[in-house]
């Protein structure tokens, strides 16, 4: 099992809009291709960020599912255009659990 931790920095004043858009439009689509582990926003530290973690069986599974997602017309037309207008930057990390982690 691998995890992908994605951090998005949202334009100032757009955090609520982005979260609402993801919940209502993005989440129903991406859930067909990936399993959400958790979704958070920052309240202290660097502000205007959302952090989400997705699980995949391995890197090949991730590559396959990401490719399928980016062939989904609803993702490309209903979610991506509005979401991109609200983003400042994106970061993605592949993380692996250690043997004593409660989530593996």
User: Per residue in 12-62, pLDDT tens?
Assistant: 999 999 999 999 999 999 999 999 999 999 999 999 999 999 999 999 999
Domain boundaries, the chain: 2-95
Average pLDDT rounded to a whole number, residues 86-93: 98
Asked if pLDDT for residue 103 goes beyond 90, the answer is no
The residues, any chain, with a CB within 8 Å of residue 18's CB and separated by 6 or more, are 8, 10, 50, 83, 86, 87
Q: Please tell me the distance from the alpha carbon of residue 90 to that of residue 70, in angstroms, as a whole number.
A: 17
* CATH 3.40.1350.10 holds for 2-95: no
The residues, any chain, with a CB within 8 Å of residue 10's CB and separated by 6 or more, are 18, 48, 49, 50, 86, 87, 88
Q: Please tell me the distance from the alpha carbon of residue 100 to that of residue 17, in angstroms, as a whole number.
A: 37
Q: Please tell me the distance from the alpha carbon of residue 28 to that of residue 46, in angstroms, as a whole number.
A: 28
Average pLDDT rounded to a whole number, residues 3-8: 98
Cβ atoms < 10 Å from Cβ of 62: 19
- pTM of full prediction above 0.85: yes
The pLDDT value recorded for residue 104 is: 80
């Amino acid at each position: 099992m691998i995890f992908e931790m994605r951090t998005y920095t949202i334009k100032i004043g757009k955090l609520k809009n982005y979260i609402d858009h993801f919940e209502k439009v993005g989440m129903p689509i991406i859930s067909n291709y990936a399993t959400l582990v958790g979704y958070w926003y920052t309240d202290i530290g660097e502000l205007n960020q959302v952090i989400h973690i997705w699980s995949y069986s391995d890197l090949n599974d991730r590559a396959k599912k990401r490719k399928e997602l980016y062939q989904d017309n609803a993702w490309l037309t209903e979610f991506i255009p509005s979401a991109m207008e609200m983003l400042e930057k994106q970061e993605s990390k592949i993380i692996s659990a250690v043997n004593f982690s409660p989530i593996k």
